[in-house]
Structure 1
Amino acid sequence: MKSTILAGVSLAALLAVPAAAADLAYKAPAAYAPPPMAFTWTGFYIGANAGYGWGTADWSPDIDGFIGGLQAGYNWQGAGPLVLGVETDIQYADVSSGIFSLDYFGTVRARIGYAFDQVLVYGTGGLAYGGGTYETWGLSNSKNQIGWTLGGGAEYAINNNWSVKGEYLYVDLGEESYQTLTGPRDVGVSSNILRAGVNYRF
């Protein structure tokens, strides 16, 4: 009888060892997925814009009309939300009255902004230049003018490559002397620019 009990106990022990070994089997850890990279505004970009300009030119009715052009620039963002950049643009302009017409303008500007992840709010300012045509009594002459610009805007990054923006600039092109039938006439030109644009970021 004792030998039968002993044999049963031994058999149960033998059956329990593989089960225990299975419980102690090595389990591989779950695969590690690194966190997604934080969005950054750092990099080069190019883009296009279009909008509306209105303003004043001395010795002329108020000027207004369409503007459109291209821009390119570079942004740098460190570990925080501060974004620094530089941008240049060149614009076709049909901002005119019956006497004076702003034919084109461009800017070279610094930008400083604050990023809320994929939203960037910024201020901007720098050099402005442009060309105008003054016409009275059939006498027409064109001049280039140089001045300054100041403004601000907001930009939204749709993804890592594409962004859209809205921007306001005040452009002061200073004075230039245009010829008229009664002699030279100094014409000061200033304009407000409201435009929307799209950028491709590299």
Structure 2
Amino acid sequence: MFRFTAGFCAGFVVAACSLAAQAADLPSRTIEPSVPLPPAFTWTGFYVGAQAGSAQTRTELTAGAAIAGREAVGSLPSLDKNGAAAGLLAGYNHQIGQLVLGAEIDGSALITGKQRYTALTGDFITAHTNWVGSARLRVGYAFERFMVYATGGLALAAPKSTVTGTGYSYGAGDSTRVGWTLGAGAEYAITNNWITGLEYRYSQYQEDTYTYPVGVGGLGIVGFKQQLSTNQVVGRLLYKF
């Protein structure tokens, strides 16, 4: 009985040592620590920003009243003036899948200079627009960090026209005008907070009619209509909260 037990123990020890040796020869397995993934980008959120670029103002003058059967202001062209625009903006986006819905307000100062036309009466008609603004809706389609969108809504402008003749100057309109605007653009999120973009918009404002007295034979009223429109192409830099 004793011999059997001793032999069994010896065999068990040999087998155990063999298994230990084989386990020592196996390659070690290292568990890599899990790295948290950055959160997926979303366009949802409030943002503020600045914009700057080129602007064009177009003033279309239409002849009005006549004096002694002759138009006092006749054959009027469209007066185009190119310049620059710079301003601020703020808005909010809400993303649903790849669809992005938003609203935005903006205001820009225009540096386009004065437009000038000489009427048949010898008067000078000048037009100048100091600033423009808008309140718009936006509809976009997102490809992760890149988005294209269309925009449209209410437009505001502050045009001023002046008629200057010999010995007098008449302010023909110096008030805020309401209109509409439509445009499109594209934006790219550089980081989760900083966004850059490019936008084009066309805006047209309500027509206004002006009349003023002139000294043609001691009598007379001159009238004309003014229609203002603008084109803007601006680069945008936004910060999303």
Corresponding position: 1:49 with 2:51: yes
Q: How does 1:39-78 map to 2 (within 5 A)?
A: 39-59=41-61, 61-78=79-96
Q: How big is each residue's C-alpha offset from its partner over 1:166-202, in whole Å with a ceiling of 9 and x where there is no partner? A: 0000000121234545445331101111111100010
- Change in Cα spacing, 1:3 to 1:108, as seen in structure 2 (3 Å) is closer
**1:143–1:184: structure 2 CA closer, same or farther, 3 Å change rule?**
farther
Give the deviation of 1:20 after TM superposition: 8.5
8 Å CA contact 1:134–1:178 kept in 2: the answer is no
Structure 1 segments of 4 or more deviating over 3 A? Answer: 1-8, 13-23, 27-36, 177-185
Describe the superposition over 1:143-182 as per-residue Cα deviations: whole angstroms up to 9, x where unpaired. 2110000000000110001011100000001212345454
Question: Aligned residue for 1:119?
Answer: 146
| Distance in 2 separating the partners of 1:40 and 1:49 | 22
Deviation at 1:41, TM superposition (A): 0.4
Matched residue of 1:160: which SS?
coil
Tell me the equivalent position of 1:152: 184
Q: Output the amino acid matched with 1:158.
A: I
* Higher Rg of the two aligned structures: 2
C-alpha deviation, 1:4, in angstroms = 8.0
Q: List aligned pairs for 1:1-202, cutoff 5 A.
A: 8-15=10-17, 30-59=32-61, 61-78=79-96, 80-95=97-112, 96-98=114-116, 99-137=126-164, 138-140=169-171, 141-178=173-210, 180-181=212-213, 182-202=221-241
> Which amino acid in 2 is paired with 1:84?
L
- AA matched with 1:58: E
- Name the count of aligned residue pairs: 198
User: Structure 2: 5+ residue runs without aligned partners?
Assistant: 62-77, 117-125, 214-220
The alpha carbon displacement at 1:122 in A equals 0.2
For structure 1, the residue ranges without an aligned partner over 5 or more in a row are: none
AA partner of residue 235 (structure 2): A
- Displacement, 1:7? 6.0
- SS of the residue 2:207 aligns to: strand
Query: 1:129, 1:139 → 2: CA distance?
Result: 24
